Amino acid sequence: MQHVLSYLKPYRKWMIVAWIFMLIELFVELWQPLLMEKIIDHGVISKNLHIIWTWGAVMLGTSLLAFASGIANSFVAAHVGQQYGFDLRKHLFEKIQSFSFANFEQFSTASLITRMTNDVTQMQNMVFMSLRIMLRAPLLVVFGVVMSLFVHVQLALIFVVTVPLLLVFLIWMMNKAAAWFSVVQQALDRVNSVMRENLAGMRLIKAWMRGTYEQERFTKANETLMTRTMSVLRLIETITPVLLFVMNMAIIVILSVGRMEIHTGSATAGQVVAVVNYTTRITTALSIFTFITMAFSRARASAQRISDVFTAQVDIVDDERAHDTNIQEGEVRFDHVSFRYPNSHSFVLKDISFVVRPHETVAILGATGAGKSSLLQLIPRLYDAIEGRVLIDGIDVRQMKQESLRTYIRFVPQDILLFSGTIEDNIRFGKEDASMEDIIQAAKHAQIHETIMKFPKGYDTLIGQKGVNLSGGQKQRLSIARALVGTPKILLLDDSTSALDLKTEGKLLQALKTYTCTTFIVTQKIQTAMEADTIFLLDDGVLLAKGSHNELLQTSDLYRKMVESQFGKKGLGDVKTAT
Ligand SMILES: Nc1ncnc2c1ncn2[C@@H]1O[C@H](COP(=O)(O)OP(=O)(O)OP(=O)(O)O)[C@@H](O)[C@H]1O
């Protein structure tokens, strides 16, 4: 909670202003019963109109002052609450940007979205309430009791028993509700997660007619959210009746004792009215505790969830000694590299060593799950090797600043992601200051320029969400153009040409040869691999063999089997490149 509240520091002055307005309101509220006592005892009972008019005017004036202070307090509280929410969201977003892939596996996307929206809103509400009523209500209770003791000790003694008991009850409820609210937030995460998956996979769901199943999945998550929320609300809703019952009993006691006291002359009617008035004000303040309990309990659960994000250890950070590096050549060396994912115990890459000379092209072949993508991800340091070193131009990637390392490496992942915007925007994503010529050049090399020119708006064509208006092959080529626009030193293509026909792919591979960069191509196609200078054969995380196509035909049974499976036995001798 403390860390999350530290973002209030810049607004301390405004908070004090809000509290000053709140104190004015509180002062008036506490003074009103005393004025009432005066008007009844010295005005109404004594039939003194002057007193009634004078103190009536004072009551009206102070009420107007309280009214104006209330509005000013609300205004400032809303301002601080909104600014605080803005800052919290901004810092959360920045923290999430610094997350490594391992961190993203720790928090689901849906949960991060809930934390950045719903949880921040809960904190925002709590700040608003703390400036508006959260402090006013307890102060009103405490000073209400003190003032009624001041008016008439015997009449007010009932509070000395009831109010502490009620406070203990409220604090107990608050603690209980906080734990329950954190369970409610988890259920909300689940609803968000089901919704997110459903919307992202809508095409698949429709094509596979899984609508009913999805409906059931959502209903289940939604029901859990509802029942958990109902349970916590039921708990909270017991507060007000308990409060009202106890305080109404207190009023009955005050009226009975008051009647006797007036009879014996040890209390005036004005004093009894004033103490009853304090009782109703204290009851209102205590019933506000229901909302405060709810807001505070929710905020406590939300603060914890936000704090978990802020305190998450980012495992891939720049070392203190890391320096900016210009990758000049693009030599990539793996030195006895072993790797497993942070959430797993089994190694997916085992003792891999190789050197890829600058400007060489390497094709990585292997069965699915062999570790091809994992190997690529170690080069731009999306993950760190558990054992061994990854070196570029002889420097360990952990000694380079991530920003400078990634400036020179272009990674085209297996799952293509395009952003909403124009085609030009999407290609420019690779290099913000790229000229139109650079963009067209990259598109030509990626074999997508002609397709783009066929669209009525050419490079200004708007890409729908995630590129829905493009074919799989078009999306792949566009994402390759995005990688080429920055003239990379190391290019990593993770099965990024799988949807291309052999002819287009051949042209693309030829165009890539004009780039002076080291290229890694993960592929399932022998035809593609044959275009590379070297082929790496990965099997179950082990670099089983490496060499040219002809060398591997001689040395690797597995490679021969792969060639056979794609071209037949006869094709072993006369496989030709596509170009
Ligand atoms: N984020 C992850 N967390 C844990 N294990 C993972 C993760 N990503 C991949 N793996 C596991 O690592 C192994 C290698 O996966 P990788 O994606 O590198 O294989 P691949 O050769 O690229 O497969 P494909 O050709 O199907 O893309 C697999 O067993 C996979 O289950």
Give 48-98 as a DSSP string. Answer: -HHHHHHHHHHHHHHHHHHHHHHHHHHHHHHHHHHHHHHHHHHHHHHHHHT
129 and 266 co-located in one domain: yes
Cβ contact 387:416 at 8 Å: no
**293 domain residue, yes or no:** yes
Reduced to 3 states (helix: H, G, I; strand: E, B; else coil), residue 243 is helix
245 and 387 co-located in one domain: no
Instruction: Compute the distance between CA of residue 168 and CA of residue 501 in angstroms, rounded to an integer.
Output: 74
* pLDDT of amino acid 465: 62
Q: Which residue, by CA, sits nearest to atom 16 of ligand 1?
A: 371
Domain tally, the chain = 2
* pLDDT of amino acid 467: 60
Instruction: Compute the distance between CA of residue 427 and CA of residue 447 in angstroms, rounded to an integer.
Output: 13
Q: Which residue, by CA, sits nearest to atom 27 of ligand 1?
A: 368
**10 domain residue, yes or no:** yes
Q: Which residue, by CA, sits nearest to atom 3 of ligand 1?
A: 341
Contacts (Cβ under 8 Å, ≥6 apart) of 121:
85
231 and 266 co-located in one domain: yes
Domain enclosing residue 330, as ranges: 325-408+520-572
Using alpha carbons, list the distances in angstroms from residue 461 to 269, 277, 379, 451: 82, 70, 33, 11
User: Could you count the other beta carbons within 10 Å of the beta carbon of residue 15?
Assistant: 18
CA 109 to ligand 1 center in whole angstroms? 19
For residue 36, what are its two tokens?
Answer: 């009432």
191 and 236 co-located in one domain: yes
**63 domain residue, yes or no:** yes
Q: Which residue, by CA, sits nearest to atom 18 of ligand 1?
A: 371
* pLDDT of amino acid 436: 92
Instruction: Compute the distance between CA of residue 521 and CA of residue 494 in angstroms, rounded to an integer.
Output: 6
**42 domain residue, yes or no:** yes
CA 554 to ligand 1 center in whole angstroms? 29
Strand partners, 521: 363, 493
For residue 446, what are its two tokens?
Answer: 């990626």
pLDDT in tens, 455-464: 888 889 888 7
302 and 166 co-located in one domain: yes
Cβ contact 500:541 at 8 Å: no
Cβ contact 140:30 at 8 Å: yes
**305 domain residue, yes or no:** yes
Q: Which residue, by CA, sits nearest to atom 31 of ligand 1?
A: 369
CA-based max dimension of the chain: 122
Nearest to 440 by CA among 459, 465, 455: 459
Q: Which residue, by CA, sits nearest to atom 9 of ligand 1?
A: 374
The residue among 310, 341, 375 that closes a domain is 310
Q: Which residues of the chain have pLDDT under 70?
A: 290, 465-468, 569-579
Instruction: Compute the distance between CA of residue 440 and CA of residue 443 in angstroms, rounded to an integer.
Output: 5
The residue among 310, 343, 377 that closes a domain is 310
85 and 175 co-located in one domain: yes
Query: Is the torsion defined by CA of 214, 216, 217, 218 positive or negative?
Result: positive
ipTM above 0.90, yes or no: yes
CA 373 to ligand 1 center in whole angstroms? 7
* Probe target for ligand 1 pocket from 104, 343, 346, 373, with the most ligand atoms within 8 Å of CB: 373
* pLDDT of amino acid 132: 86
Instruction: Compute the distance between CA of residue 50 and CA of residue 60 in angstroms, rounded to an integer.
Output: 15
* pLDDT of amino acid 578: 40
* pLDDT of amino acid 334: 96
153 and 115 co-located in one domain: yes
336 and 225 co-located in one domain: no
| CA 101 to ligand 1: nearest atom | 1
Using alpha carbons, list the distances in angstroms from residue 476 to 467, 520, 525: 10, 16, 16
For residue 558, what are its two tokens?
Answer: 């597995």
Using alpha carbons, list the distances in angstroms from residue 13 to 16, 19, 55, 85: 5, 10, 35, 17
Contacts (Cβ under 8 Å, ≥6 apart) of 224:
187, 190
53 and 89 co-located in one domain: yes
Instruction: Compute the distance between CA of residue 559 and CA of residue 535 in angstroms, rounded to an integer.
Output: 10
For residue 267, what are its two tokens?
Answer: 């209390």
Q: Which residue has the tokens 């990758």?
A: 327
CA 568 to ligand 1 center in whole angstroms? 29
Cβ contact 282:33 at 8 Å: no
CA 374 to ligand 1 center in whole angstroms? 6
CA 190 to ligand 1 center in whole angstroms? 25
Reduced to 3 states (helix: H, G, I; strand: E, B; else coil), residue 336 is strand
73 and 25 co-located in one domain: yes
pLDDT in tens, 431-481: 888 889 999 999 999 999 998 898 888 889 888 765 667 788 888 899 999
257 and 132 co-located in one domain: yes
245 and 361 co-located in one domain: no
For residue 16, what are its two tokens?
Answer: 């004090």
**466 domain residue, yes or no:** no
List, in sequence order, every beta strand (DSSP E) within 117-240.
Answer: none
* pLDDT of amino acid 579: 38
CA 469 to ligand 1 center in whole angstroms? 29
Contacts (Cβ under 8 Å, ≥6 apart) of 295:
122, 125, 126, 129, 134
Q: Where are the alpha helices (DSSP H) in 239-348?
A: 239-264, 269-310
Q: Does pTM top 0.90 for this prediction?
A: no
CA 349 to ligand 1 center in whole angstroms? 10
**121 domain residue, yes or no:** yes
Q: Name all residues whose Cβ lies below 6 A of ligand 1.
A: 105, 341, 343-344, 348, 366, 368-374, 414
| CA 414 to ligand 1: nearest atom | 27
The residue among 287, 310, 333 that closes a domain is 310
Query: Is the torsion defined by CA of 200, 202, 205, 208 positive or negative?
Result: negative
